[in-house]
Structure 1
Amino acid sequence: MRKDTPAVTTRPLPYGSWPSPVDAAAVARSEATPGWPGALDEEVWWAESRPTEGGRVALCRTRIDRPDEPVETVLPAPWNARTRVHEYGGRPYALTRGAGGSVVVFSEFGDQRLYRYAPDTDLRPAPLTPHPEVACAHRYAELIEGPGGDEVWCVREVHTGPTPTDVTRSIVAVPLDGSAAREPDAVRTVARDHHFLACPRLSPDGRRLSWIGWDHPRMPWEATLLRVAPLRDGRAVAVRTVAGGEDESVVQAEWMDPATLCCVTDAGGWWNPHQLSLSDDGGVEREPVNLVRRPEEFGGPLWQLGRRWVLPLRDGRVAAVHGRASTRLGLVAPASGGIVDAATPHTEWWGSLAVAGSGSGGDGGTVLGVAAAPDIAPEVVAVSLADGGWRSLSRPRSDSETTGDPYARWLPHPEARVFTGADERDVHANVYPPRSPEHSGPRDERPPYVVWAHGGPTGRSPMVYDLEVAYFTSRGIGVVAVNYGGSTGFGRPYRERLRGNWGVVDVQDCVSVARALVEEGAADPARLAIRGGSAGGWTAAAALAGTSTFRCGTIKFPVLDLAAWRTGTHDLESHYLHSLVGPWPDARQRCEDRSPVNRAESVTAPFVLLQGLEDEICPPDQCDRFLRRLRDRQVPHAYLTFEGEQHGFRRESTIRAALHAELSLYAQVFGFATDAPTVELRS
């Protein structure tokens, strides 16, 4: 493990009590991150979350040919470009050309309708889709321009009844003239196929449509099908399956030419890009060719619609986000399988590629993506295909060079580690030791450590610039983010360790990492904590109920009762337990035995419980029942609820309150002083 040597000028103070400029307000401001870049010639757009504006998502733009122009917020408050498809959302907008310049079509969070807006000519956005009888019952995501330029095509999700699983989905065409806002029948169904749909893509000649589909009880990282159909009168006909299957996950497909698809599939155990050649009748002409046969991931879990890890370019190469644990941007030569990585300092790239510039992917074109590093906050990055040069579009370096990062000296120096877990299995984790330029811990004291369990559970904790981590490490509290068995980024076998073992493998791996840090002398065994949100909240609660390793925990918007969650959560995850725990009703007893709500009497460690009151994924009633079971147990705890918050916290006030509560918990349990407001722990 990396050992940071304190400067001789540092002053010893008890771990946890170090003064730090990284306050909760700074963390909240840092959550204003960009995503979903897109382009129209030289004009580059992206979505940007704004905690200081009530958590809304704004749309921004700039031009790659005018580097001195400031970034423009195109969509002003209170407009909120965010879709609720699958509740986790996805790409909320598409760009097209209009008579007066660029036009954006976006999903408005408040009513989930699509709106058209030409920022250079329109006073305000105009609706394109009808207002449903039930608010937000029609939702739209992953918008693309239709073949004639007068429509947008997208995935539509329609909620048809009172239960979360009363849902239908289809690929639809929405006219850009606004007629469908008055005449709902003007929205044309292009394809109605599997229960879940993703990745609609038009072939370059506009004659075929491809998409990905799957059905309950499968999740998209378990088994999907790649479907292709010719178009007749604007509708898909004679649909064929060209890739995917029972034990194969196709997560993306893009057209390379009118008869060739590049699809990302894990048929070989890793999400690798494959080339599919199609015959005239829509079938597969020959076996798929793995373009880059590497034990690396070129894809990820489809939690959100619209992800693009690979993108064919006009010069024949393929831009690709790839790696193990961390990711890079590379250019793939399909003929040789060689990859040339972009020479940027970023160590993590998201699956959100796009192309811009007059070359549109050929010489002189530009690849766009969102990238970060431990010392670089997430930013929209433009990489030139002509010379490999790069620059940030969302955070121009001229600005940062002038002002500097006020928190740079307080950032942790993380290290990616592989620990040995139960049954001698590898457990991946990112370790963030305490770090301050001004203070160090007493020689005879070891620091407290908090184990972070990520959500999903099919997900991953990237090692990037994160002021939320620095909020704790700069005060003398170590953080270790565990990518427990079931995480992505390490191949399908690692991902499938959690099959049938949710609440077992994840907890064991978190405990193993915490104990390993203690054995190394890096952490104080009497001051270990665990925290997590969503599925990570489940792991944190299960660890407190089933082990004695952790002295306290922070549980955020968690799953606490598997049987109730199965029928109370949203449609996407309503059958998730089929793989995580076992088929229902055979796994009923297993669900009851593992659920923290049924093991509340085993919880003795103090905790804080944080919950959004509008959460449709992990509803607050689970927290209420868990606390009722603890009513006579005399366990110190605090329960904070937040109006207007869904799954995950977006508002500045909520982020600040949640961090204050968490730090206050650690201060009270571990016995150090802090400047955070004290949150009362009641028994």
Structure 2
Amino acid sequence: MGKTVRTLAYGSWPSPIDAALAAAHDGHPEYVGFVGDEVWWTEPRPAEAGRRTLVRRHADGREESVLPAPWNVRSRVIEYGGHPWAALPGEDCPLVVFVNFADQRLYRYEPGGEPRPLTPVSDVGAGLRWAEPRLRPERGEVWCVLEEFTGPGPTDVRRVLAAVPLDGSAARDRDAVRELTDDRSRFVTGARLSPDGRRAAWLAWDHPRMPWDGTELLLADVGPDGTLHGARTVAGGPGESVAQADFTHDGRLLYASDRSGWWNLYLDGDPLCPREEEFGGALWKLGMRWFAPLDSGLIAVVHGRGATALGILDPETGEVVDAAGPWTEFAATLAAHGERVVAVGASPRSAYEVVELDARTGHARVVGAEHDDAVDPAYYPEPQIRTFTGPDGRDIHAHIYPPHHPGRVAPADELPPYVVWAHGGPTSRAPLVLDLEIAYFTSRGIGVAEVDYGGSTGYGRAYRERLREQWGVVDVEDCAAVALALADEGTADRDRLAVRGGSAGGWTAAASLTTTDVYACGTIKYPILDLTGWGTGETHDFESRYLESLIGPLADVPARYTERSPATHADRLHVPFLLLQGLDDVICPPVQCERFLARLGNRPVPHAYLAFEGEGHGFRRAETMVRALEAELSLYAQVFGLHPPGVPTLELKK
């Protein structure tokens, strides 16, 4: 006998997907690699104070957390971090090098022993930080990116390639760290070595560019003494973004460049597979990988237009054969060993899993972090890929998640409430994957619309650059166009539209609430709210000049910084809102929220401000995520007249 379907108002449906379940499944595997024949990766542990652990998959398939709590394998280089570990197999046990989040020191670890620091502590500014370690046992070194603060300010920083002794001699002696490059470039990625070890390649760029604006691909010779010399630029420039570089098995230089308007692959400067799709992306973290050369000469690639697939590219023919399987989205992390490829893939019915592909047979299988349905999949949302028309007839890409419940429908004369989700970045994209945070809302009868507004990646450089000097305009217009289109076509209730976002998405949400009348309420998470403050020392070095492309140079258009800022227009805010903030956030610091609330003054606008100790940019602790998600649902319930069962009431100040 089938389930009985009952009629109940939108937003009031009972759901087995509670906030604790959504929080437990937040985050996904990252930074995959091979250690001998074994597959390793990092993985979140929301219930363990939000730490990331290093997971080892033994030959028998058993998964093991390499390091116990509280060890947290995570780098803070450029604040967003980078690849934080490296390991080599040993006769008795592997040699592991990793970055520990708490002190940002590099540690050496052999399972069975205790981690030993390899790098010193510095009391200058934010100290010393490391990313993209690469073991060089023949030299007794590990090569890394070194980020060193030279003063108390967030932009008092230099970055170089450096070699750290594996014997621990640098643990108390900064001078024992050997610098491989000078600091003429503000930003560098880790070096990739040619198979013979005689050449090194890395990326570099300088303010005010972001890495998706323009990077240089540098190539240097490696001397017998382990020094780099003769560094020269071989690709890239101010208007060309090289996203990744590596060497093929026979020593040829392979890289992803967007010189054609799309990130495509080039081998020694020649295009391999020219297509209007992306074989690279925005380098938000050091060590992101969209391709991996194989010993056979084939190349594993993560590629696509919008959604990404895992494929094998034959450089001789330019043909790509995609892996068969249920996965419709792959993250920018890849590793290869012989003809084995390991990646991280997901779909609208499964969360991110560690996937291994045999390049010879084309067979793909899950080898780690296997998706397990925590609830009946009948409660999962059923997304739609849509393209809407925005101002000037421009296309706007979006994913629409209608309310969905196997045992409930709404009255025939009722339209559902919808929440527009603005992703962060803003140079990012919303992946079409199972997200229990989305399911938390859709299974209760609240629709979600994820908007890849102009400026998003995955659709070519021209789409990305729609946001140039138009941040706070194009993103706001595109989100509003999707929301209103859903209302006009009878998909959503025009009077019950909300907007939410975090980081740059928090900016878009706040700007939408202060400059449009589209939304009845909104949720603003760890946002940018005051451009002048954020652009003059209130954020970290990596994004400290980002506004020059998003808004324009401050010296030239100071009025634009004031006019665009939601903090300037707090007096226009007349709908209820929820403000969520981590108190340890150095990217979008709490002062931005405090200034916004001060400018709101005593105006009778219902709102709540929840600030969380121990949280930075993006929430990682289970208890924080539970509190934030339940508060958000309570906001919508109060504003839209919903009655979700079992949700604590958020107290709104008036």
TM range (shorter): over 0.9
Of 543, 546, 551, 1:576 maps to 546
Q: Any residues of structure 2 matched to 1:430-579 within 5 Å, and which?
A: 430-566=399-535, 567-579=537-549
Gaps of 5+ in 1: 1-6, 277-287
Contact map agreement 1:81 1:92 (CA 8 A) in 2 = yes
If the length of structure 2 is used for normalisation, what is the TM-score? 0.97
Q: Which SS does the other structure have where 1:335 is aligned?
A: coil
Give the match for residue 156 of structure 2. 166
Structure 2: how far apart are the matches of 1:564 and 1:79?
35
Structure 2: how far apart are the matches of 1:10 and 1:627?
45
Structure 1: how far apart are the matches of 2:156 and 2:174?
20
Counterpart check, 1:213 vs 2:204: yes
Counterpart check, 1:50 vs 2:41: no
Flag the 1:258–1:173 CA change in 2: closer, same or farther, 3 A: farther
Q: Any residues of structure 2 matched to 1:17-166 within 5 Å, and which?
A: 17-63=12-58, 65-67=59-61, 70-119=62-111, 121-122=112-113, 124-134=114-124, 136-146=126-136, 148=138, 150-166=140-156
RMSD of the alignment, in Å? 1.3
Flag the 1:237–1:353 CA change in 2: closer, same or farther, 3 A: same
Give the match for residue 652 of structure 2. 681
Of 371, 383, 398, 1:414 maps to 383
Q: Which SS does the other structure have where 1:191 is aligned?
A: coil
| Residue 160 (structure 1) shift | 1.2
Q: Percent identity?
A: 55
Of 602, 609, 612, 2:579 maps to 609
Counterpart check, 1:370 vs 2:341: no
Letter in 2 for 1:166: D
Letter in 1 for 2:599: R
| Residue 533 (structure 1) shift | 0.2
CA deviations over 1:460-507 (Å, ceiling 9, x no partner):
000101000000000000000000000000000000000000000000
Give the match for residue 279 of structure 1. none
Counterpart check, 1:200 vs 2:191: yes
Counterpart check, 1:328 vs 2:309: yes
Structure 2: how far apart are the matches of 1:617 and 1:396?
33
Structure 1: how far apart are the matches of 2:5 and 2:109?
55
Which deviates further from its counterpart, 265-274 or 98-107? 98-107
Structure 2: how far apart are the matches of 1:387 and 1:150?
38
Letter in 1 for 2:226: G
Of 321, 341, 347, 2:322 maps to 341
Letter in 1 for 2:24: R
Q: Which SS does the other structure have where 2:466 is aligned?
A: helix
Counterpart check, 1:351 vs 2:332: yes
Provide runs of 4+ in structure 1 moved above 3 Å.
none
Q: Which SS does the other structure have where 1:239 is aligned?
A: strand
Letter in 1 for 2:212: W
Q: Any residues of structure 2 matched to 1:657-672 within 5 Å, and which?
A: 657-672=627-642
Letter in 2 for 1:593: E
Gaps of 5+ in 2: none
Give the match for residue 15 of structure 1. 10
Contact map agreement 1:84 1:112 (CA 8 A) in 2 = yes
Contact map agreement 1:642 1:654 (CA 8 A) in 2 = yes
Structure 1: how far apart are the matches of 2:495 and 2:606?
17
Give the match for residue 359 of structure 2. 385
If the length of structure 1 is used for normalisation, what is the TM-score? 0.93
Flag the 1:430–1:167 CA change in 2: closer, same or farther, 3 A: same
Contact map agreement 1:100 1:118 (CA 8 A) in 2 = no
CA deviations over 1:61-103 (Å, ceiling 9, x no partner):
113x423xx2111111010111100110111101124453211
CA deviations over 1:288-332 (Å, ceiling 9, x no partner):
111110101011101000011011111010000000110000100
Contact map agreement 2:131 2:190 (CA 8 A) in 1 = no
| Residue 405 (structure 1) shift | 4.0
Structure 2: how far apart are the matches of 1:43 and 1:18?
45
Structure 1: how far apart are the matches of 2:319 and 2:392?
37
Structure 2: how far apart are the matches of 1:582 and 1:340?
42
Letter in 2 for 1:219: M
CA deviations over 1:243-291 (Å, ceiling 9, x no partner):
0012100010010146411100000000001011xxxxxxxxxxx1111
Counterpart check, 1:175 vs 2:145: no
Give the match for residue 251 of structure 1. 243
Flag the 1:83–1:256 CA change in 2: closer, same or farther, 3 A: same
Q: Which SS does the other structure have where 2:511 is aligned?
A: helix
Which deviates further from its counterpart, 211-220 or 133-142? 133-142
